Amino acid sequence: MKQEYIPLDEFPNKSNEGMLNDEGTSSSGLSTRTRSLELFDNMEESGSFPKVERKIQSLLDELAEVLFQSKQPNDLTRIRKAIAEQLQLWCQACQENADLYRSQQRKLKSRWDSQTDILSQIESTKASLAEVHKAEEISNLKTSITHLDEEIQILQEKLAIVTNQRNTLVKRLQTYDNLEKKKALSMEDRLLTLQEQYDAHANVSSLEKRMEVLKKREDLLRLMVGQALPGMQFFQRLIHQIQAVETKLISILGPTSLSEAALPPLTDVQRTSVLSLLTSTLHSLESARQIADSNTWKPIIVCLELEIVYFENMLTAITSTPVSS
């Protein structure tokens, strides 16, 4: 069951859990750098987009550098927005490829219909040709001629009448023979032409297999886009909430206070307020990470782990800062 998203401000204050250990990893024991390297390992079958994915990876590395090496903290908003924009581009690319696969399927379907129609014509022509060869009229005429020949020998007095009948029937036979021969030749030529047309292109079975592959790719990409869009909305809301927390911290500690080295001495009231805000924020981030884990939003999981470590470090720094008189 997927977890429901809860805004940062609605979480109750809890004591900090999951502080960094001596080796710079979270309490889960998973290095955020290692997890970021695994983001796009399983996307080959759906048609990945290396340029966008490498850009996302680069932004994640840059975010980690800014958060943990105290370099240009003012770039946090830019980096977070850039990550969101790249994820949106990735979704759009998936959508465009899915539409392309659908277009290719339609073209193959048209060719499939054409080949199927040719097959139908071939079968119909074969059936008609078989009927021509089995026509009973030719057999009946030949039988009548044989009977008349026998009657000529027996009934000499009726020779003239029988001869006329025979001549008439012979002419009819010749007429039928000529017509049927022409019809048979025409049908044989038609059959040969249709067979050549069919053999000149991919057969129906091959087209069906290619259509099936394209349909699977389209379905997979559309599924990935459908799964990624909620993650995008979730990540954008999270960015706004983190920025709101930082604004509150700056209002309490001063404009340069987000760097650990620049923390000013705090009064007891300031210290209590900041610790409460950081503890609540960490609890909210942990819950958000569980939601991302349950939905397999890998880039967002890495971002959340970086933010958690960043706020845990700040909490540690605030805890060790002496109280100002």
Tens of pLDDT, residues 63-95: 888 787 766 666 778 888 888 888 888 888 888
Dig out the tokens for 199 from the structure.
């053999």
Cα separation, 86 vs 277, in Å, equals 30
What's the angle, vertex CA 21, arms to CA 15 and CA 23, rounded to 5?
160
- Picking from 280, 228, 224, 220, the residue whose alpha carbon sits closest to that of residue 13 is 280
Dihedral (Cα; 123, 129, 134, 139), 10-degree rounding: 170
Distance of CA 84 to the CA centre of its chain: 20
Better pLDDT: 7 or 192: 192
Compute the average pLDDT of residues 24-47: 42
For the chain, give the percent of residues with pLDDT over 90. 7
Q: How many CB atoms lie within 10 A of CB 71?
A: 11
Residue 307 has pLDDT above 80, yes or no: yes
pTM > 0.75: no
The yes-or-no verdict on residue 261 having pLDDT over 80 is no
Q: Quick one: pLDDT band at residue 285, thresholds 50, 70, 90?
A: very high
Surface-to-core class of residue 38, CB atoms within 10 Å of its CB (0-12 exposed, 13-18 middle, 19+ buried): exposed
Q: What is the pLDDT of residues 4-20, one digit of tens each?
A: 333 333 333 333 333 33
Distance of CA 234 to the CA centre of its chain: 21
Annotated domain spans of the chain: 117-204
CB distance 277 to 12 below 8 Å:
no
Q: What is the DSSP string of 172-187?
A: HHHHHHHHHHHHHHHH
